[in-house]
Amino acid sequence: MHSGELDRWLESKIVGTYLFREDGTIDVDGSVNFDGKLGELGELGDLGDLGISFGNVTGDFDCRNNRLVSLRGIPRVVGGNFFCPFNQLPDLSGAPLEVGGKFDCSHNPLASLEGFPKSILGGFFCETADLGDFLGGNLPDHFQKYVPKYWWEEHLQIIKQVEDAKKRLTGNSEGVTELVLFDLF
């Protein structure tokens, strides 16, 4: 995509002003809405495939519904909310280091919380059926600032009890982790 085309495309997705920095990153004074819009540019695994990378965004950053497999190119700091649900993320590598609002990574096939932000001032949302795969204690230390380990341990027992009950009744326990965590958060 040529520079003029990229500028026009970005202008349609950014509410506010943006600046291309010398290091190649884009800083935004405002919000960025890529909700389902990256497909307009072809098949992308991440923003790096576009050759763009964000530095700081003072408002919200929304990249949900794009089938992203990586958060490469995502802003390092988001002043508002950060939304990346409904992608294909195996982990959170490349996620912002700091989020001033909510962080939502729901509905991704997460197998790890690697890359979890160092600071989230709003809530953490992670509705996903695969979350049970790593609830057993392999959590980043700073994650416990948002959800204490004793909380996970206590609620993991509840999740296992509900899974066992559903399996006894239906022969299948799929979706229980998502359902229980949704109710707990």
Tell me, yes or no, whether 92 and 165 share the same domain: no
Structural domain range at position 16: 3-147
Q: Do residue 127 and residue 168 come from a single domain?
A: no
| Average pLDDT value over all residues in the chain | 78
pLDDT band at 38 (very low <50, low <70, confident <90, very high): confident
Highest-confidence range of 3-17, 49-63, 104-118, 169-183, by mean pLDDT?
Answer: 49-63
* Cα–Cα distance measured from residue 141 to residue 79, given in angstroms and rounded to the nearest whole number: 23
Same domain, yes or no: 111 and 161: no
Q: Is residue 122's pLDDT more than 90?
A: no
Q: Does 43 share its domain with 108?
A: yes
How far are the Cα atoms of 42, 64, 75, 140, 159 from residue 72, in angstroms, in the given order? 17, 14, 9, 20, 33
Nearest CA to 63 among 94, 23, 24, 27?
Answer: 94
Q: Are residues 82 and 40 in the same domain?
A: yes
Q: Are residues 69 and 142 in the same domain?
A: yes
The pLDDT score that the predictor gives to residue 149 is: 54
**79 and 133 both lie in a single domain:** yes
pLDDT score, position 178 = 46
Residues 13 and 91 in one domain: yes
Q: Are residues 41 and 84 in the same domain?
A: yes
What is this structure's pTM?
A: 0.73
pLDDT of residue 6: 73
What DSSP state is assigned to residue 85? -
User: Which residue has better confidence, 29 or 171?
Assistant: 29
Counts of helices then strands in the chain (DSSP H, E): 3, 10
Quick check: 116 pLDDT over 60? yes
Tally the domains of the chain. 2
Task: Indicate if 35 and 96 belong to the same structural domain.
Answer: yes
Question: Do 16 and 68 share a domain, yes or no?
Answer: yes
Based on the domain organization, do 155 and 122 belong to the same domain? no
Those residues with Cβ within 8 angstroms of residue 90's Cβ, 6 or more apart along the chain or in another chain? 69, 108, 109, 110, 111, 112
The whole-angstrom separation of Cα 127 and Cα 170 is 22
Q: How far apart are CA 18 and CA 29, in angstroms?
A: 6
